[in-house]
Amino acid sequence: MIYKAELTAHSIFWFNSLTYPHSSGYVQKVMPVIHNYPLTIAFLGRLVEESYVGPYNSPSYKGIKTLYKEGGIYVYPAVFDRTFYMRLTMSMSESDYVLYKPQTRWAVPILTTNNVISVGSKATTYVISSEPLNVKYIRLGVKRGIMKVYLKEVKDYEELKTSFSPNVAYNGKDVKSEGGFTLLRHKEGNVVFGGSAERGIRFKDENEEIYLPLPEFIEEV
């Protein structure tokens, strides 16, 4: 079974990441996307570890493939359609100021950036489930922010077995694909957009035609 899931933030979400110094200064670009690893865990009703939006996390579960085998749910990365966003920079000591030091050979300041997604932000994703799905809310982020879930089942779709270009974000580790633009790097697979996939489905979503790539470990939907 395939569902379109619309997620609406009902509380503030905190996403932690690290910013390292660069020759031109401190530059960080945060894409408005949530990785499908924590989303899958949240849809299964399990606890999500705090740090999961960068390559610095240590997963407490065995991976997305194992989660699907155990729970029968696979969630695609969620992309925000509307985002109320704010970023706070703090020092590693978690104080409310940043201590700047001259760059030397051995010592450079490392900063912690707190990315805040506020109430009213909306994101869209797609879910594959082996059983009828009835998820109303999920909890994500460092402070366990709450998102309301609106599910709509996709009943009419066409299976694609020839090369096509996906127009939704997907996990490059799960899907057999080539090329594409990396939106978010992650230990459980980078979030990719575009490129060319070998297997997927096509369906209508309102006035838009969706090309959704399928993970290699999911044989039937």
Structural domain spans, the chain = 2-156
Q: Is residue 210 over pLDDT 50?
A: yes
pTM score, two decimals?
0.78
Q: Which of 2-16, 67-81, 155-169 has the lowest average pLDDT?
A: 2-16
Say how many CA atoms lie within 13 Å of 188 toward its Cβ. Answer: 25
pLDDT of 103: 54
For residue 78, give the nearest of 124, 47, 118 by alpha carbon.
124
- The pLDDT confidence band at residue 52, using thresholds 50, 70 and 90, is very low
pLDDT of 111: 60
Q: Is the model more confident about 64 or about 141?
A: 64
The answer to whether 170 and 77 have CB atoms below 8 angstroms apart is yes
Provide the token pair at 109: 């300041």
For residue 118, give the nearest of 151, 86, 74, 164 by alpha carbon.
86
CA distance 99 to 110: 10
According to DSSP H, which parts of the chain are helical?
A: 36-43, 64-71
Q: pLDDT tens across 148-188, in order?
A: 999 999 999 999 988 999 999 999 999 988 888 888 888 78
How large is the average pLDDT for residues 118-137? 92
For residue 75, give the nearest of 121, 140, 126 by alpha carbon.
126
pLDDT of 202: 94
Question: What secondary structure letter does DSSP report for 214?
Answer: P
Q: pLDDT tens across 11-33, in order?
A: 877 765 555 555 655 555 556 78
Neighbours of 94 (CB within 10 A): 8
**In the block, which residue shows the tokens 């994703």?**
125
Q: How many residues are recorded in the chain?
A: 221
Instruction: Count Cβ atoms within 10 A of the Cβ of residue 34 and give its class: 0-12 exposed, 13-18 middle, 19 or more buried.
Output: buried
The answer to whether 6 and 124 have CB atoms below 8 angstroms apart is yes
Q: Is the model more confident about 7 or about 15?
A: 7
